[in-house]
Structure 1
Amino acid sequence: MGREAEEVREERVEVAPGVRLWYRAAGSGPAIVCQNGVGVTITFWEEFAERFARHGYTTVIWDYRGHGRSDEPREPNELTLDICVEDLAKVLDHAGIEKACLLGHSMGAQLGWEFYRKHPERVTGLVPTLGTYRNAVSSFYDMPRIAPKVFASASYVANSFPQFVKKLTGLAAWQPALSDLVVRKLEIVHPTLSPKGWLPPYLEHMAKLDPRVFFALAVAIKDHDASDLLPRIGVPTLVVAGERDFFCPPRVAKEMADLIPGAELLVIPGGSHAATIEQPDLFDLRLERFLEERVLARKQAEHA
C-alpha cells in the first residue's frame, strides 16, 4: 500500500483502418480495466487507477472512439456496444492482459455485461458502477414515460444540427463556475461532496465531442438489455449504486444484484452519479475487500 506505481505506459492501438484508441496502463499485478460513461473521458477513473496501481494492481483506463485522446470513428453514427466490446478486447490484447476485473461507470456497466457475454473467459470479476443493465434512458429521474420522449427530441436535434449543438455545449464550457453551481443546485452531483476540479475538463471534452458520436452510444445503451445474461453470470460481481443517483437509481442496482447469482451490493450514502469521486475512500475500501475476498480468492482456488 502506498508504493509508487512500477510502470506507466500510454499507448495507442489500431482498432480499424485509420482509427486508433488511446489507453494508459499502470502498475503490475492482477488487472483492473475501467470503462467510461457515454460522452465521458477518463474523468471518473484516472485518480482511482493511480491509487490502485500503487496498491499492487495493473490498471487500464482508455477512451472510446471519438472521445478524449482516441481517434474519431470513420462515421460518427457507427458506434455500437458490440464495436466497443471488440475495441476493449483489442486494448487488452495490446496491453498484454489475458484476464481482468471490469469496472464500468454508467454506460461502462453495460459494456461490461456485453464483454462478459462474448468473452467470459477473459473476465475475473465485474463491478458495474452507477449503471444499469437495460434501457438506460427510461430510468433517468424515474420518468419512464417522459425521459424517452425528451431523449428522442434531443437525439433528432443533435443528428440534424450537430454544429449548433456543439456551440451550445461550448457555451457551458466557457462558464464552468455557473455550470458547477447549476449541477449542484439541481443535485445532479452531491452539493458539497463533489470535488470542484472535475467539471471544467468534462465540459471542455463535451464541447469538442461530436454530438452524433454521443447519441450513437446513447441510443445503443437505450436499446440494450442484458436481462437474459445476468442470471448466468459466473464471476464475482459487486454492484455499486449511489443513494441519490438520479440517472441510475438504486432500485435498478438492487434489481441487478438480485438477478446475478452471489452478487454483492454497495449503496454509497448520499451518492450521486459521480459517487465514486465524491466518496473515493469508501469506494476504494469496499472494492479492495471485494477484490481480495472474491476475485483473487477465486483465482487462487482455481490454481490450487
Structure 2
Amino acid sequence: MKTIEKRTGTFTSFDNTEIYYEVRGQGRPLVFAYGIGCLINHWHFQIEALSHNYQTIVFDYRAHHKSGSPDDLNNLTTEAIAKDMLLLLDHLEIKSAAFLAHSFGGQVLVKGHQLDPKRFDLMIFVNGFASNPIVDMYGSNFSEKLFHKIKNGFEALPSTVSYLWKIVVDNPIAARVSALAGGFNFHLTKFNDIEIYLKGISSISLEAFLFLFEDMMNFDGRDHLDKIKIPVLIIGGEKDSITPLSYQHEMEQKLEKSEFLAIPYGSHCTQLDFPDYVNLRIEKFLIEHEYLKLNV
C-alpha cells in the first residue's frame, strides 16, 4: 500500500501554548482526539487506512508529548483542549470536519461541539464517554479513592511520588496489568502498542496528568448530548472494564441520530484490538453519510 506523506507543524493556541499536529492525505478532513495520557499511536491503524481517501488530522493535547504545557495549570482542562482542537481547524483553514474520539476524547468532542457546533459534520466515538468514567469503575469506588490517594501523596511529596510513578509505569509488568484491567485485549493488541502507550504516559508530568484527570472526573457533558443533531457512530467493547458499554448506551439514548456497535472481546482500546473491523465500520458510516463528497 502506498505510503502517505506526513506533514507536521505547531500553532500557538489561545494562551500561547504550542500545539503539535500531523496531517496526512487529501480530501474531507477527519480530526482525531485520543484518550487522556495517550498518544497519536493509539490511532495509527485508522490513520494508515483512512489517509488514502481523507485528510487525517491528529494533534497532541497540551502537556502531552510534542505539545507544550500551559504556564497556568488552570488552562489544562477539557475545555482548553477543545479550544485547541477548534483553533487547529482555524490554523489549517478548515471550516468543518468529521471528528473521531477515543475514551476521554469523547469529552473533548462534546465540549468542542458545545463551543462551536457548526464545525462538526459527523462524530465517531470509540469507547467514549461524556461524564466521569471512574464512578463505580470495576463495580466500586476504589479507582476514585486511589486517584485521591495518589493526588494527596503527590501534593505532600511531589518528587518522590513522581519518581515512584515512573518506576511503576516503566515496569514491564505494567503492560500485563493494564491488559488485565481491561485497557487492552492482550491476545489481540500488539504488545508494541501497549509498550508505546506506557512509555508515552510515563513521559507526561504527573502534576499535569493528575490535574487534567481531575478535570475529566468533574466534567459532565450529558446534558448537551440531546443538542447534537448530526449523525453519530458509537463503538464500544464488550470486554471494556474501564468504560463499560453502559456509558456508550447512555450516549446512544441521548443522541438523536446515533448508530451503535458493540464489538465482542473488544477492550478499552477496541481500535487497536480489531483495527480492520473498526476501520470498515468507520468507512461505512462515512460513506453512508456521503462524507467522501467534497464541499462545493
Instruction: State whether TM-score is above 0.5.
Output: yes
Given that 2:185 and 2:273 are in contact with CA atoms closer than 8 Å, whether structure 1 keeps it comes out as: yes
Counterpart-to-counterpart distance in 2, 1:164 and 1:18: 31
Q: Where do residues 185-204 of structure 1 align in structure 2 (5 Å cutoff)?
A: 185-204=180-199
| Aligned counterparts of 1:159 and 1:294: Cα–Cα separation in 2 | 49
In the alignment, does 2:122 pair up with 1:125?
Answer: yes
Q: Pairwise mapping of residues 7-18 of structure 1 onto structure 2 (< 5 A)?
A: 7-16=5-14, 18=16
Structure 1 residues 21, 129: closer, same or farther in 2, change over 3 A?
same
In 1, are the aligned partners of 2:181 and 2:241 still within 8 Å (CA)? no
- 8 Å CA contact 2:182, 2:268 repeated in 1: no
Partner residue, 1:161: 157
Q: Any residues of structure 2 matched to 1:1-304 within 5 Å, and which? A: 2-5=1-4, 7-16=5-14, 18-54=16-52, 56-76=53-73, 78-143=75-140, 145-176=141-172, 178-294=173-289, 296=291
The 3-state SS of whatever aligns with 1:101 is: strand
* Aligned counterparts of 1:66 and 1:290: Cα–Cα separation in 2: 32
Q: Cα offset for 1:154? A: 2.4
Unaligned runs of 5+ in 1: none
**What CA distance in whole angstroms lies between the structure 2 residues aligned with 1:186 and 1:81?**
25
Q: Secondary structure at the match of 2:256?
A: coil
Higher mean C-alpha deviation, range 56-65 or range 180-189 = 180-189
Q: Which has the higher contact order (CA 8 A, sep 6+)?
A: 2
Q: Gapped runs of 5+ residues in structure 2? A: none
Greater Cα shift, 197-206 or 123-132: 197-206
State the TM-score, normalized to the length of structure 2: 0.92
Distance in structure 1 (CA, Å) of the matches to 2:109 and 2:64:
18
- Cα RMSD for the two superposed structures: 2.1
For 1:69 and 1:230, the matched residues in 2 are separated by: 31
Q: Which amino acid aligns with 1:202?
A: Y
| TM-score, reference length from structure 1 | 0.90
Helix, strand or coil: the match of 2:98? strand
Count of matched residue pairs: 296
How many Å separate the matches in 2 of 1:68 and 1:42?
Answer: 9
Moved over 6 A (4+): none
1:76·1:210 contact (CA, 8 Å) conserved in 2?
no
Q: Separation in 2 of the partners of 1:238 and 1:140?
A: 24
CA distance in 1, matches of 2:153, 2:3: 47
